[in-house]
Structure 1
Amino acid sequence: MAQKVLARFNDAQLFLFVRHLFAAEGFQVVLAGDNDPCAQNGADYAAVVLDVPDLSCAITLKQVRQSFPEAALVVLSRADQPFDDVLGCDDLLLSRPFDPSKLVRFLRQLRYRGATAPNATLEYADLEMNLARMQVLRAGVEVPLTPLQFKLLRHMMERPGDFCTREELIERCWPENVEVEPRTVDVHLGHIRRTLKRFGPDIIRTVRGSGYALRKRCDMSDGDVTSSTDSGPGSRT
């Protein structure tokens, strides 16, 4: 399930742009009712995003911090404004015009913040996945994966003894309310498989008609049990 983010914006176009960035990284954005973010006090939000026009909004920031002590604050300001007394090392201050890549990097860190320890890792065979840094190593060499590919591989590494259906991968790795065809899962798993094979033997096997699984360590040098081009069902049910 997507993590929720509470937002208050004065600029409708900016809200639509920022909402798209959050959704692309797996977050669901909830617009604060009546422009009062504190009215949502008590809800479980990973972050609160505020479009701050001037320094007078510092009081609002303090109120938001009190209402959501566990949430990260993302502040979009119109000029370089000091909010050191409110914002901490886990928050983000962006001044217009801001670089979207900074927000994207922050969101990728936020996705696993709190859910995993700073040095939490998953290991399987010669794969090592650092959850906080979103980094995958194979035999000590960094493997380049996109955020979506990282999520797919992570889900499989969390269930090394089981196969994962396409429907399960769609539910766990794509944002809610996004229609994804099972064939799309095949395409992304194909990219992951080819990338990993650059650094070692094929570690992903296709379970025909069902989904995907990680190979047993003793079988990694053997051939695949089925063709990796198995397209699966033609539509999601």
Structure 2
Amino acid sequence: MMAEKPTVLLVEDEPAQREVLAYNLAAEGFTVIQAADGEEALMLVAESPPDLIVLDWMLPLVSGIEVCRRLKAAPETRAIAVIMLSARAEEVDRVRGLETGADDYVVKPYSVVELMARVRANLRRARPATMGIVLEYQDIRLDAETHRVYRGDKVLKLGPTEFRLLSTFMEKPGRVFARDQLLDRVWGRDIYVDTRTVDVHVGRLRKALCQHGGDDPVRTVRGAGYALG
């Protein structure tokens, strides 16, 4: 029910290969969604943006490189980490993949252990709180592993929803999150919650952050959503 686990979209047209990777990603604790071609991948991302995409270069209908180019060109999907898989080991191909916006490039045949390490490393950069990292913003510190939040030297009391809201904001300070994006990240993608619920919990988060004094760091952006700082 909670949107704690990072979601990985696996785009691979070889069923056997896809099965092995999906199994290993699930074993690592990720939520895995799958696509067998570039068109399906773009449709799934539009419906529900994942945290990371493992993307094969050679795909039917729309190539992996074109999928990557489109996602990185759009502001709403630009931040999604993309790991490109390719049998093309030539430097010129690797450069082309990275220039298209891929965050990482893995040459086939690859070791599954190495690929899982790359997935974890890229997710640490894209969504640090889901990987148990301590996040800091001004005098606020959030420890994802111990589930504690500090402001200065004081421990703050936060409910589980407020904690997930704050971790989302602290992963990308300054970024404006629309209410729908917050619903996806904090409540989960398959749960129907009214957008006004977001406003209620942002209000509770503000109160919790200022329980020992200090300025309210959460900013309301009219017609757009909320941001930290």
More helix by share: 2
| TM-score where L is the length of structure 1 | 0.45
User: How does the TM-score come out when normalised to structure 2?
Assistant: 0.46
The structure with the larger Rg is 1
